[in-house]
Structure 1
């Protein structure tokens, strides 16, 4: 009995979306290693990929929670930019330490996330419309008050970095965000509520789940992750450019959707999102290795996103068909 149960569990693992995604990642790594003559798997290239992908990975983890709840957030890059800019201004004018810079950014991220949740729930307008609007409002206010001025010349405690810290801090924060999100989604009531609301908000209301509170948590959590990712980028690049992050929303969304999250809500995993992060990062890096222009990289990523959306839609139709048959 135990043997049959273990065999069945292993078979289920081989049939998961995450397993197939892992196979695709390994296949791409093998192809790019051969094409680049081994340079793709060099230590320098791997560390560069890890450091550059960590910040977007943290944001993808936050976006995963919003998508599971049945919503979507297009404004998270604007949230990240505002949080990053205000945190940088704070430490440059008042001072502080690493804890302070993260705390300021996180507070800004939470406030902007709560604004999104309140508007989505109370206006009853599709989340994509609301967050496109707030993206422009957040970013517009920032540009109006700052004039698009770049910030650099941070305090020594923040500006001092080594080849070790520039890798350990981004990866450490990505690991922390991943483990925390996994624990919240799998081991807490609010995590179960996020899945339930995304799967069926009306049914969740009938069983006593507070949908508004769940959405407030999901969008505020996205704000926290956007803030964390923005500070990671600020540490790696040692500057704040108001227009540096805007435009990368689709790249992060691709990570989450490729990872198996359903845009209709109620489905998605942290491990799947991390594999989606690996896939997008490897594709972007691999295209550079084979000499593809950055313009074509954008086109290619758009095609990848479109294909992933199509597969998500087909999975949804297949699921609904099975439910009707039952």
Structure 2
């Protein structure tokens, strides 16, 4: 390794970095990353030749000129920064000891990409994002404190792919990732999120394939998530909405009035938890009107019919003119005025 420790080699590497055409010149990132990784190893052996020491572990985000760290650390930080770009691009020729660190760094960028892709219908973009999260999950060892979060992100991307015309296998794989994430968190305070993700995905698969075991598991998981969720806030509203949808589905299959009562109670509790300007408020009001109408058809209680009409009216008022779902909500609201009429299921939240 003697040549890379020469002063001239370091000067040339710095000149190359200054001449880099742009942030996305992966060939230069790859070369500089390996160069500084080799320098880090050589300098680490000089300062601490003890075998088995993990010289690559530790923080990398500090200033490059930090005099409190040993002289090899700046090279390590530069190597991690340069090779993270290569990991993001799918480069496989990377220093094996650094791969878990690169995956963790890449996760920060991948989370932003996930947020930006929420409304994307581009199959190639979603497939690329799923591949990135799959590589992050594969690189992070079992027992890592962030593994459950990474598995959840991968599951969310796969579920997005399925919802936008992907294969049924995408949803199946998402469910497997959500199961793995849930098993990794034990009794952590944030367990409710993992319960909700798995329950909601199982409910979606029941809607697709009709397997009763998926529906029963979804209801159990969403019920547990509700018990672990604070009594206020938008997240509780989402859990209530998911549980209400699952209970309504079981009522329509088995006809137990208690399931319909539970769905109505859940939707009613969820409505005030949605901010007035939150799009989900319209859908939850429409859903509440639908289940109230179903109970009126079952029991003949005109109070349920009046409440269904009122929920439909509020849903219409909350929907802006020109909104693509306004016609469906208007139609459903009108149908709530009489028994024996079918309605359209509102779009999912």
Q: TM-score if structure 1 supplies the norm length? A: 0.22
The structure whose RCO (Cα within 8 Å, separation 6+) is larger is 1
**Structure with the larger helix share:** 1
Q: TM-score if structure 2 supplies the norm length? A: 0.21
Say which one has the larger Rg: 2
